[in-house]
Amino acid sequence: MPVNLFNANFYRAANVDLANFSDAQAESHFQNYGLNEGRAFSPFVNLNFYRSSNSDLANISNQQAFNHLQNNGVAEGRSFSQFVDIKFYRASNVDLTSLNNEQAFNHLQSNGVAEGRSFSPFVDLNFYKAANSDLASFNNSQALQHLEIYGLYEGRQFSIAFDVNSYRSIYSDLASAGLNNQQLLDHFERHGLSEGHTSSPFFNVSYYLANNFDLKAVGFNNSQAYDHFVHFGLQEGRSSSEFTSGDYAGNALSRARNITVSGKSAIFRDFVGNTDINDYYHFSLSNNSNFQLALNGLRADANVQLLRLNSDGTTTQAGSSAAGGSTAEVININGLAAGSYFAQVHSYSGNTHYNLSISATPAVSTTDAWTFMVYMAGNNLEAFGIEDFLEMSAVGSTSNVNIVAQFDRTSGYEFSYGDWTDTRRGIIRQGDTPGLNWGTSVGEANMGDANVLSNFVNWGMTNYQANNYALVLWGHGSGFSVAYDDITNDSLTVSETSSVLAGLSRNIDLVGADACLMGMTEFAHQIRNNASVLVGSQEVIPGIGWNYSTVLSDLTTNSTMTAMQLGNTIVNRYGQHYSSIGNNGTEETLSAINLVSLRSSNPNNLSATISQFATTIMNSSTSYDRSRLSTHRANSAYFEDTD
């Protein structure tokens, strides 16, 4: 029985020129062009790997390989991906042992990845998300997709037992041969494992067999030993590498490990615990830099702080993170001054290995201080959208501030300025009008699709680089969703918006919601680690929304303002505007929220306080307490909807 190999979502994500295609358009493009062009079409299948793993298929075309795999190859149990092993999948999931190869493949696609099941000895999606803090909010399907499209090529670690960067550094012959990351993984799977190569700082199969005599006694080969470590040895704490007991970072400032920090994340793996409380790393920055540090992969509580070395030899704390338990620690500082620094990893309780990821990129010239991005969904607010566009163009972009927008118009609502009905994006200059000559069409985009938002923000940040970025979500909002698109009846959920922000190359400085009811703790909580300030309203927002002329006039006049200062400006201008027009019989609200204060590094953050309150009510309240609470709630102010 033929299996379905094509995945439309993956095809769109892996081929950015097709991002706005429907499922039917994507499949048609794949059949007519993409397959012959060798485009990636599934997170589970690699036709090049299929051909190279099966010598009788080495010379067949992409179309022939696709047909053979679909009709015969999966059923025959042939290897078709460096990331997926159907035999391993069945062996790791006892409820699937009776399935044939095609049934197991279908189960993996439809259920297995989403359920977090093991499907390869070389890939651990939970480890991948834990080792890369920017992916922490990804679900398993998103994580596998990211690994296939970006992660391996970026050199990210996706298994404790295999690290492509370590593998390259240990075996100079592979580095000299110029093998890329995909080729290195292929080499280890086909040759390195059987040859007993060291595959990560935490695993060497020869060492594992030599130091675990029960495995050697029953005659385990290298592949069996590797599988045993993945399934059992890691959890059992077995000795797995000559490096696992090593200590590569000094235990005092004077013995700190010297490292080089650049724009690409460098990952350092080590151990802290009861007998090794502190690890220190020393590095220097020659420019003011945007600095990012993440400490993850923890199995116990460890904290981290950044120390600046002063000219007199003393140190001053420049940043810290002290989340509880095994929660990842994060320090992000934009504009960290040039100088000499130490990163200190400290054991708070228990023993743990860790992954320390550090990067720093020179801060962008203040020529472009801000890029102000407005995401305008197509719906019955179109007439107000045109008014807001004209308010933006009344000020226009300057040498210090870029004003860019993605505007989706819809038929039947507003007929001025060419009455176009597709989606356009571009920079807004002084005097621009939202007609057919403005911007570039991106087709009829579904503004409620997270991929569309991600494409717009990445486009804005790539083409209009700046020190600071603001993203305004414009349109209808319900508190739990925003940017409703009337054509598709879709909207961006809070979770989708959070995932988009988490997937960006850097944090957004200010997220604004020119949309109703988005000033909610739930929304603020979701995006707290990926933005600094949220501007939103607890109440409905009138159709005319924000006054962009006054806000952008203030920003272009004082482009050095911080995110919080811009948030305050938006709130103040909003209040002045509605006070001046008699507020139309409603009571407007708008707030600028410091999201840094909601992060887990702040033990008194609002999210934790609400959670503690709810837990107390559920576990300790009496019927009298609940009655009084109900009375107080009924007498409290509410916003638009009593719920």
What single string gives the DSSP state of each residue in 234-291? HHHT----TTTT---SBSSGGGPEE----SSPEEEEEEEBTTB-EEEEEEEESS-EEE
Give SS3 for 620: helix
Q: Residue with structure tokens 């045109």?
A: 386
Give SS3 for 132: coil
DSSP 557: H
Query: Following DSSP, what letter does each residue of 576-599 receive, concatenated?
Result: HHHHHTGGGGS----EEEEGGGGS
Q: Work out the average pLDDT over 132-156.
A: 86
Higher pLDDT, 195 or 512: 512
Domain boundaries, the chain: 8-236, 253-362, 370-598, 604-643
Dihedral over alpha carbons 328, 332, 337, 342 (to 10 degrees): 0
Higher pLDDT, 304 or 137: 304
The letter for the amino acid at 514 is: D
Which range (41-55, 352-366, 445-459) has the least confidence?
352-366
pLDDT at 552 over 80: yes
Q: Which residues lie closer than 8 Å to 12 by C-beta, 6 or more apart?
A: 18, 19, 20, 21, 26, 451
Answer yes or no: CATH 3.40.50 is held by domain 370-598.
Answer: yes
Q: What is the pLDDT of residues 413-450, one digit of tens each?
A: 888 998 989 999 999 999 999 998 898 888 999 999 99
CA distance 148 to 450: 19
Assess contact for 341 and 282: CB atoms under 8 A: yes
Look at strands 508-514 and 468-474 and give their pairing.
parallel
| Token output for 93 | 């999931």
CA distance 151 to 128: 9
DSSP 16: G
Q: Work out the average pLDDT over 61-71.
A: 93
Q: What is the pLDDT of residues 27-65, one digit of tens each?
A: 999 999 999 988 999 999 999 888 988 999 989 999 999
pLDDT at 161 over 50: yes
pTM for the predicted model, two decimal places: 0.47
Q: How far is CA 503 from CA 146, 454, 457, 493, 532, in A?
A: 10, 8, 11, 16, 16
Q: Which residues lie closer than 8 Å to 245 by C-beta, 6 or more apart?
A: 239
Q: Work out the average pLDDT over 236-265.
A: 74
Total number of residues shown for the chain: 643
CA distance 154 to 132: 12
Q: Work out the average pLDDT over 299-309.
A: 91
Q: What is the pLDDT of residues 83-121, one digit of tens each?
A: 899 998 998 888 999 999 999 999 999 999 999 898 998
Percent of the chain with pLDDT over 70: 96
CA distance 68 to 64: 6
CATH of domain 253-362: 2.60.120.380
CA distance 625 to 593: 31
Q: What is the pLDDT of residue 230?
A: 82
Q: How far is CA 83 from CA 46, 121, 232, in A?
A: 9, 9, 20
DSSP 27: H
pLDDT at 377 over 60: yes
| Token output for 542 | 């009138």
CA distance 227 to 213: 16
In angstroms, the first-to-last Cα distance of the chain is 51
**Around 160, how many Cα atoms within 13 Å sit in the side-chain half-sphere?**
25
Q: In 3D, which of 420, 410, 415, 464 has the Cα closest to residue 441? A: 420
Q: In 3D, which of 509, 510, 536 has the Cα closest to residue 523? A: 536
pLDDT at 641 over 70: no
pLDDT at 159 over 70: yes
Q: Which residues lie closer than 8 Å to 98 by C-beta, 6 or more apart?
A: none
pLDDT at 16 over 60: yes
Q: What is the pLDDT of residue 365?
A: 52
Assess contact for 408 and 445: CB atoms under 8 A: yes
